[in-house]
Structure 1
Amino acid sequence: MTEPVPFEVFEEGVYLHGTQAALEPGELLTPQQPSNYRQGLAMRHVYFTQTLAAAAWGAQLARGEGRPRIYVVEPTGEFEDDPNVTDKKFPGNPTRSYRSQEPVRVIRELEGWTGHSPESVRAMREGLAELRRTGNDEIID
């Protein structure tokens, strides 16, 4: 199996959230959860995407002891482009990454998805560690 294709929309109109948390349909994801990328930071937003590649990164890099999971989710309020990727890395938001200060409802768990290779995950973790080491791990929240 191959890795998810960057920038490829999973399904138009469908939003995804990657995590290691075990969630049930109907549960709400709310802001003020710990960041997966910066220790000691409670995020003011809930993050989600329309691409399997970005959701897989969220699931595979999430902190915790659970297995990586991707959920189909539904925003309950207004949301905006995630400036951490649109302004810094990918102008125009080709990752279809978003954030909201409103809760996001879990619709169902996505089954049978293929994530990034162990080598890719290791390289991403090393890159994130380097950003932390150099003080360049800013998160616009």
Structure 2
Amino acid sequence: MLGMADAPVPFEVHESGAYLHGTKADLRVGEVLEAGRRSNYGAGRAAGYVYLTRTLDAATWGAELAAGDGPGRIYVVEPTGDLEDDPDVTDQRFPGNPTQSYRTREPVRVVGELTDWVGHPAEQLRTMREHLAELERQGVEAIDD
């Protein structure tokens, strides 16, 4: 298990250089994430991609904002195929992909878990949730896959 005691810093690649996946799913090392399963976001439709990042900040958002009642989790993952930049982040908000956010239609294997990461401050998390709720009221999907 890998640890990290400091709050996430936007655009900073995790010290391990590993790919990370934030979720509320309780996974084990060796399990595989695949496109086509229920999405962590939106109306619970089947996800067309698996999303991953190299920044603790982006993975933390994934863990904090994912659907479900369990605790947020951040897994160290290994892609098994090609990756592409996540257009929901890179094309719309951060050209050039400084968030190191990617997606793939290929399986992604869980190889570890970060266990002592620190979430975003409560006010920042509340503001993000309010923003996402407003997008939902407007009929805008947060993830367009």
Q: Bin the TM-score by the shorter chain.
A: over 0.9
Q: Does 1:37 align with 2:41?
A: yes
Q: 1:71 to 1:2 in 2, by over 3 A?
A: closer
The answer (yes or no) to whether the contact 1:11–1:50 under 8 Å persists in 2 is no
Residue 134 of structure 1, CA deviation: 1.6
Q: Which letter maps to 2:109? A: R
CA RMSD after TM alignment = 1.5
Alignment match, 1:78: 82
Q: Which letter maps to 2:32? A: L
1:1-141 matches, cutoff 5 A: 3-11=7-15, 13-137=17-141, 139-141=143-145
TM-score, reference length from structure 2: 0.90
Count of residues paired in the alignment: 141
SS where residue 43 of structure 2 aligns?
A: coil
Residue 86 of structure 1, CA deviation: 0.6
Q: Percent identity, please.
A: 60
Residue 138 of structure 1, CA deviation: 5.4
Q: 1:115 to 1:86 in 2, by over 3 A?
A: same
Residue 55 of structure 1, CA deviation: 0.1
SS where residue 66 of structure 1 aligns?
A: coil
Question: Any unmatched runs of 5+ in structure 1?
Answer: none
The answer (yes or no) to whether the contact 2:6–2:117 under 8 Å persists in 1 is no
Q: Which letter maps to 2:102? A: Y
CA distance in 2, matches of 1:139, 1:127: 14
Runs of 4+ in 1 over 6 A off after TM superposition: none
Deviations along 1:87-121, whole A, 9 cap, x unmatched? 01100000000000001000011121111122211
CA distance in 1, matches of 2:25, 2:62: 11
CA distance in 2, matches of 1:113, 1:54: 12
Q: 1:47 to 1:124 in 2, by over 3 A?
A: same
The answer (yes or no) to whether the contact 2:7–2:117 under 8 Å persists in 1 is no
Residue 12 of structure 1, CA deviation: 5.8
CA distance in 1, matches of 2:77, 2:35: 14
